[in-house]
Structure 1
């Protein structure tokens, strides 16, 4: 498997559009693939190593969800605790009934950030949380599903802060990354002093103009301003990289695969098996009210795989094509990072087919 994956990613970086790639696979607790290819920074030629950290966008929601389940396990709140019980301001405009379960299943009815939000606002925790709390819900909590691209992270993050008195990045370090031995490979906000270890994102020429060809009345354009769309320029900004934006994360493939392997019950276990079983079972489904696609959600994870290779996998992918999952039926934990932003998960799907064969 190691050889097949290495050949595949070398082809992607040498003759395809990719720049730098990492793939890591655990099977039944053993690291069976740890492959890298290409460059972390095209301008300098700095190569990708297993320790290189990538901004993988929503792939990092797995870290956010894991922390929420950890705090449920510790009794700080329950899945059916109203968000407003911990964060009273969130109950404004009829959101009092929204629960932590609704947030984890993207059914809370608040997929949007204000349309005048700036990138600087996203980096200001108190300001963006206040703005989200003041939003009117798009639907009655629990009655629809729609991808909460940014708000998932901020709402869970503020719940964590209210329950523990700590920012979610500190909880990640102390209770997840640290115990797993991954303190320097799993981040929300990454210290500026460490930014030289990051892969630099790239995107196709003209990628920023894609919205001009789309109908302007699509719901996704009402869920946030285009200036906050997560492209290469956005993801290379120092303030964005340093900020806690727990709708996404910065990680290596090896670290993310290790986290998923832990969730399968191997090595240091962040969550007990019964909690993982609850967290990764189907909890909500329906047509996504933001993007229009059919969706199935566990408590914080999407279910299935892009090519249908498994119906029992739980996963999160991110803008640009990075992807990670675990599948208890096979014992496989997989993570794929890349720094060339693609509009799909085709590269991840090709590698998943090799791994699942």
Structure 2
């Protein structure tokens, strides 16, 4: 069914009309258009394909921030599945330099679960450094950890992909970006890039800042961040070059290099296509991940307080464990959110792949999925049950 009502355009399959209504309602509740895309696949078939906002089309490329982590760690999952990487082997056995300052016993499993103790570096990174995974990895190999490695969980917002990517590089001789391109993006024709080709730049739409209400502006002005705190370290706010997320996304060096933690660029079609390929047959190709690999990577590795943010959280191996946050999801669902409020995931039990991308930041979202995802996901699962 084709749909064009107000600012919302696109198509939905019969029975999924409620999703289009919820998408339109979610956009209408916001004080500024989020310029968003929503795509859902069921058993490899696209059943929802919606978009909205000035200058936004279904093939408009957006910075997807930490959705990039899902793409990068799909590569790691494939390498574990192939027997190339061992989750319970020490990182330092692959990457000897990383063992400095007591990091030698940290396993790859613990690294993927954000337990390394090095979510950032003393003095922070410059804009050029934070965009380059190899530079980040070299700095963090020599970094003294901020907590005993393996003893606690803290979200490595800007650096986890550099750390896991260096393990991949040491074992395969290839970057995580190259393997993603060769094994996942190119074979499936996905509009999702860890390193945006220059010729695709005209299709990219810049990331937009949140437009706060007066009340939100007052709350933002009252916030103070201790530059010596672990939160400042993880957010790269602890040095002379404090990373601002809008500027980070709109930096052409970031887009070109595609840092695996947060530098990906894509569409909701691309994100949903990736998760659909991960859990099911697409165009005659077998699903990328075997059921036992999905079980391993989706299984919660940590449930408790994030020592960086102070928030309660649940994390799998490289992917967010989403069932605690989004109740309709099955126990083996896996995926990752992005800083603007975006979200991508697969739910193997339902045969479902979901992708919601936004150009504009919400409030107070800095890292996690936007609250509108709750209603959108609920509408998707109601449609599944009804059909």
Same fold, TM-score > 0.5, yes or no: yes
Show the counterpart of 1:349.
374
Task: Select between 90-99 and 2-11 the one with higher mean Cα deviation.
Answer: 2-11
Residue number among 78, 92, 97 corresponding to 1:84 in the alignment: 92
| Residue 296 (1) aligns with residue 314 (2) | yes
Residue number among 278, 285, 289 corresponding to 1:271 in the alignment: 289
CA deviation string 1:41-82 (max 9, x = no partner):
xxxxx3x22222211100121111110111112222200121
Show the counterpart of 2:338.
318
Show the counterpart of 1:4.
18
SS at match of 1:179: helix
Taking a change above 3 Å as real, the CA distance of residues 120 and 202 of structure 1, as seen in their structure-2 partners, is same
Q: Distance in 1 between matches of 2:265 and 2:168?
A: 19
Deviation at 1:11, TM superposition (A): 4.6
| Residue 20 (1) aligns with residue 35 (2) | yes
Q: How does 1:196-211 map to 2 (within 5 A)?
A: 196-205=202-211, 210=220
Show the counterpart of 1:239.
253
Residue number among 328, 348, 355 corresponding to 1:309 in the alignment: 328
Deviation at 1:261, TM superposition (A): 1.7
Q: Distance in 2 between matches of 1:302 and 1:137?
A: 23
Show the counterpart of 1:214.
224
Q: Distance in 1 between matches of 2:28 and 2:300?
A: 40
Q: Distance in 2 between matches of 1:13 and 1:309?
A: 22
Q: Distance in 2 between matches of 1:56 and 1:308?
A: 24
Q: How does 1:59-78 map to 2 (within 5 A)?
A: 59-78=67-86
Gaps of 5+ in 2: 1-14, 383-387
Task: Give the root-mean-square deviation of aligned CA atoms.
Answer: 2.3
SS at match of 1:56: strand
Q: Distance in 2 between matches of 1:210 and 1:229?
A: 17
Q: How does 1:97-112 map to 2 (within 5 A)?
A: 97-112=105-120
TM-score of the pair, normalised by structure 1: 0.90
Show the counterpart of 1:43.
none
Q: Distance in 1 between matches of 2:21 and 2:179?
A: 38
Q: Distance in 1 between matches of 2:304 and 2:171?
A: 31
CA deviation string 1:13-63 (max 9, x = no partner):
567322411111111222111111113xxxxxx3x2222221110012111
| Residue 138 (1) aligns with residue 138 (2) | no
Show the counterpart of 2:199.
193
Contact 2:136–2:159 at 8 Å: present in 1 too? no
